[in-house]
Amino acid sequence: MIDEGPTRRVRATLARLVRCAGRTLGTEWHGIVVDPVRRLARRGLSGLLLAFVAAFGVVFFHDIAQHPAGAVWVRRLGGVQADLPLWLSLLRTPVSLYVPALDLPVWAGITQLFLAFALAELTLGRVRTLVIAYTTTLAGTLTARLMIALGPGWWGFGLPPEAGRVLDTGPSAAVVGLFTYLAVVRRAPVVFTLTGGSMVWESIAVPNLAGREHLIAVAAAVALGLLHGRWRRPRTAPRSGRPGASLWRRPPRRCDGFRTSTRTGSP
């Protein structure tokens, strides 16, 4: 007689994995897509102000850069390089968020930029969205300067001096940072894997300055997301005398030891 014990255990394990994946994807879909769409329905198009401004800024600077004189001014206003004085790089960094790379398809970049700012603005609010976008971009810019200052070597961390003449990533670092931050604070492992994994693959397939800055943006967004959880912990403490009472609209769900949640607080 054939022992069906191992087969049953395998089937039970697979069934648990399928249920776990289903719950994770469902929670992630609700936290990343459904909640922002509901807020958009309540707030209207005013909830997408940053997204429209970012998209318009990219289109504006891209069109200006198509002319020789315009390209010079776009570079002067938002072109950040590691060999520039630090004060000038800091002055240009906010404008660099709207200066796209001219060698890449602009409409694909605009779509990603609009989606990142839209989801972040609806989920996090305008102020925090701007802070995350600027901080992750600035982290990549400053780290690139450090890599070039160290020079070649340092176990592959340093960069040669000629890398200082390469333009920074522009809005792409902000996009990567926003998606990563949302994935961390919304406990979205699929979005995090797609974002962080694509950046790791990019840095391996095309080992350039932009790939490194994207990885730094991911790391900065992860750190900010973890700090966000620490900052909000006292604010989400029980307010009523009932044990276990909290501000969550629905209880967090566990999936084989991995906690998923769909709320991180109102923007």
Q: What is the pLDDT of residue 130?
A: 93
**95 in Cβ contact with 167 (< 8 Å):** no
pLDDT at 245 over 90: no
Q: What is the pLDDT of residue 224?
A: 92
Residue-wise pLDDT for 140-180, tens only, equals: 889 988 888 888 876 767 888 888 888 877 788 899 999 99
> Does some domain include residue 97?
yes
Spatial CA neighbour of 34 closest among 145, 177, 186: 186
Secondary structure class of 101 (helix, strand, coil): coil
* 3-class DSSP state of 156: coil
The answer to whether position 157 is within a domain reads yes
Q: Is residue 4 part of a domain?
A: no
First to last CA, the chain: 62
Establish if 261 belongs to a structural domain: no
Range of the structural domain that residue 104 is part of? 15-229
> What is the total count of domains within the chain?
1
Mean pLDDT value across the chain: 78
Could you give the 3-state DSSP secondary structure of residue 4? coil
Cα-flanking dihedrals φ and ψ of residue 151, to 5°? 85, 175
Task: Identify whether 242 is part of a domain.
Answer: no
Please report, for the domain that includes residue 207, its CATH number: 1.20.1540.10
Position 228 scores a pLDDT of: 73
238 domain residue, yes or no: no
Res 103: pLDDT: 64
The neighbour count for residue 191, using CB atoms within 10 Å, is 19
Classify residue 206: in a domain, yes or no.
Answer: yes
Does a structural domain hold residue 237? Answer: no
